[in-house]
Amino acid sequence: MAEARGISVIRQAIMRSAADLFAEVGYRKASLRGIAADAGCDPALIAHYFGSKEGLFTVVVAETVRPAGVLQEAMDRRDPEAAEWLLRHAATDWGDPVQQRRILGVLRSVPDLPVARERMSQSLVPEGVAGVAADEIRLALISSLFVGVVTARHMDLLPPELTVGGDCSELVRALTPVVAAYLAASPATGGRPDAL
């Protein structure tokens, strides 16, 4: 049991260091030696646990960009509060400087790795939605909105009144009608929100 706990601690330390380094320098410039040094372990352990730098990146994406399940739940709820619930969930990441930095690191790494875009898409689209064109369109638009918010907050492009407070409540309030419109879209409208 103690050995398993030790493995878990090392694995988490590697993932944390990788996420931080990808955020700082991007995928291409992040080295396994640098990640291992920051995690305080032998570089061989990265190959042991993750197979390769690409394998490590894939796991970091899955841990950092994780809205697929939440998006699916919001779609399944089919109630007026679903959009606000989804946005409040997203706001926990928007309000966390560490998580925001890691999300930006993943986005910065996408151009460096041919399969990174695919990995990002997989983490954004719930399994049951893949192949349903109308649902994929509306989820792509919601995901794009979320990525835009992270980027705009990082670059201080949003009005100060929207970013005041750690809970992003003003931002959530402003975006709720938009996300609600996308969640309300139906296949009959070709994925176009009924309210737009």
pLDDT in tens, the chain (196 residues): 444 445 688 999 999 899 889 888 888 899 999 999 999 999 999 999 999 998 998 888 777 776 667 777 887 777 889 999 989 888 887 777 777 777 887 787 777 777 667 766 666 666 666 566 777 788 888 888 888 888 888 888 888 888 777 678 899 999 999 999 988 865 444 444 444 4
Q: For CA atoms 142, 12, 16, 61, give the dihedral sign.
A: negative
Q: What is the pLDDT of residue 122?
A: 66
pLDDT of residue 126: 64
User: By CB neighbour count within 10 A (0-12 exposed, 13-18 middle, 19+ buried), where does 49 fall?
Assistant: middle
Residues 6+ apart with CB under 8 A from 139: 71, 75, 124, 125, 126, 129
pLDDT attached to residue 164? 75
**DSSP code at position 79:** S
* Alpha helix ranges (H) inside 30-158: 32-39, 43-50, 53-64, 68-77, 82-94, 97-109, 116-124, 133-154
- pTM metric for this prediction: 0.69
